């Protein structure tokens, strides 16, 4: 779908990398090994996105690190397009909102690092019926054509989550808005 609008596969990878989780930052050589592409193609796209103001950069030693410019007027729109491209909007609609007692849902794993993957990893905090969750996940997988892997923590266990093991920081996908 998105590749019909954006013809550069490298640009799509960079948008996923930086705009899905705005905490993500990376440098050229790291992206080269991650994407398996030439540094020249990646450099050109990074320069274009930086010139357009969509990425910011900072020097750290001899490395130039890039990250999404969250203040760019199109940041939220691009972020939302990427969420729809992956199917996260449908996961929220078809799974999370139907479960009832969910407090928070985080995107972890490859997608939280901005890497396209056939598997979406979720960390769910809530008091939910796991059998019903499994049924909803199976239905959602058919719609989005990706596998969904999940870990469920009861709210009482949430304080024991080792957040430091997630790199980069998990992406908050959904949070309860109505206090119970």
Q: In CATH, what number does 87-175 get?
A: 3.30.460.10
Calculate what percentage of the chain has a pLDDT beyond 70.
Answer: 96
- What average pLDDT does the chain have? 89
Would you state the pLDDT for residue 104? 94
Domain ranges of the chain: 2-68, 87-175
Would you state the pLDDT for residue 96? 82
Would you state the pLDDT for residue 84? 87
Structure tokens, 136: 């909803």
Would you state the pLDDT for residue 151? 93
Report CA-CA distances (Å) from 100 to 96, 130, 149, 153, 172.
8, 12, 19, 15, 18
> pLDDT tens digits, residue range 124-159?
999 998 899 999 999 989 988 899 999 999 999 999
Structure tokens, 65: 């690190």
Would you state the pLDDT for residue 4? 66
Would you state the pLDDT for residue 1? 61
Would you state the pLDDT for residue 178? 61
Residue 75 binned pLDDT confidence (cut-offs 50, 70, 90): very high
Instruction: Report pTM.
Output: 0.74
In CATH, 2-68 is 3.90.550.40: no
> pLDDT tens digits, residue range 93-117?
878 878 878 999 999 999 888 888 8
């Amino acid at each position: 779908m998105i590749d019909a609008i954006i013809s550069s596969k490298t640009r799509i990878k960079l948008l996923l990398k930086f705009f899905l989780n705005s905490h993500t930052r990376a440098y050229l050589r790291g992206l080269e090994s991650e994407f398996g592409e030439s540094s020249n193609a990646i450099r050109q796209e990074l320069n274009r996105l930086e010139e357009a103001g969509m990425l910011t950069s900072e020097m750290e030693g001899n490395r130039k690190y890039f990250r999404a410019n969250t203040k760019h007027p199109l940041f939220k729109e691009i972020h939302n397009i990427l969420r729809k491209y992956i199917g996260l909007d449908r996961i929220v609609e078809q799974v999370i909102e139907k479960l009832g007692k969910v407090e928070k849902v985080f995107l972890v794993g490859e997608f939280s690092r901005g890497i396209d993957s056939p598997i979406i990893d979720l960390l769910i905090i809530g008091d939910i019926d796991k059998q019903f969750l499994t049924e909803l996940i199976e239905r959602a997988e058919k719609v989005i054509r990706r596998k969904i892997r999940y870990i469920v923590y009861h709210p009482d266990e949430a304080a024991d989550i080792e957040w430091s093991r997630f790199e980069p920081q998990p992406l908050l996908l959904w949070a309860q808005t109505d206090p119970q």
